[in-house]
Amino acid sequence: MQRVRFRFRHLHLICIVVCIVAVAIGIQSALTAMVYAGLSAKLPIYSVQTEEKKIAISFDCAWGVEHTDAILRNLAAADVRATFFMVEFWAKKYPDYVKKIRYFGNEIGTHSATHSYMSKLSESEIEAELATSSQAIESVTGEKVNLFRPPYGDYNDLLIETAQKSGYYTIQWDVDSLDWKDLSATDIALRVINGVQPGSIILCHNNGLHTAEALPLILDTLINRGYTFVPIGELIYRENYTIDHAGRQIPNTAS
């Protein structure tokens, strides 16, 4: 009799475990379905799905200009056009560099007005950050700004939605050079070269200590491997696209 009770309790315990596992699997399946149905958190563009070996290199401008001339020289020597994201106070402090960057054929986007954590801001504060920072750039270049990179890579749904409503594509990256950590030129170059795939967006900084030194190796190696560098605005899709769970922009294909 005791053996029967033990078996019954054991069977009852197994049933409970099976039910728990089934519920967990169901929850996981539901979450996965939500992601693929586009019901998850909104994402910026980290990279682009493309069959062409096109990539983009970008530079965030917030502090100083000491290494900017060398970066521009190395880009020009390789006939590469990049995208520079500028904070408002940087653009106002260095208008000659805004002109110089654009003169060499590079693209310019906003990196906010104050370089703050914008996920903590209200909708009206976000709108103001985008408007005044873009105006500071446009007053120098005479060209409209429609690319935006959030400081620190920090964002939430409100930021993405507000930027989109204001006419901006929010841009992240899928290859981080970590040049802001003052890595050696070789380490920076290897991180970028080994991380790139078609459609990649590379993150660098205009005032990284060894960024300019790393550029010739990055550019020459990737060009020799068949990659073409284009500004981010020429890499991304402007319409008829979706963004997957990894932030990869995918063109919608006709059915």
Domain ranges, ordered by start, for the chain: 1-40, 47-251
Helix axes 123-141, 95-103, angle to 10 degrees: 70
For domain 47-251, which CATH number applies: 3.40.50.1100, 3.30.365.10, 3.20.20.370, 3.30.1380.10? 3.20.20.370
pTM of the model: 0.84
**Mean per-residue pLDDT, 210-223:** 98
pLDDT of residue 40: 41
**Residue 229, helix vs strand vs coil:** strand
CA distances from 148 to 83, 193, 209 (A): 11, 25, 24
What was the pLDDT predicted at 253? 81
Active site residues: 60, 205
Closest of 224, 251, 255, 225 to residue 240, by C-alpha? 251
pLDDT at 196: 98
Residue 206 has pLDDT above 60, yes or no: yes
Over residues 37-61, mean pLDDT:
87
Q: Which pLDDT score is estimated for 53? A: 98
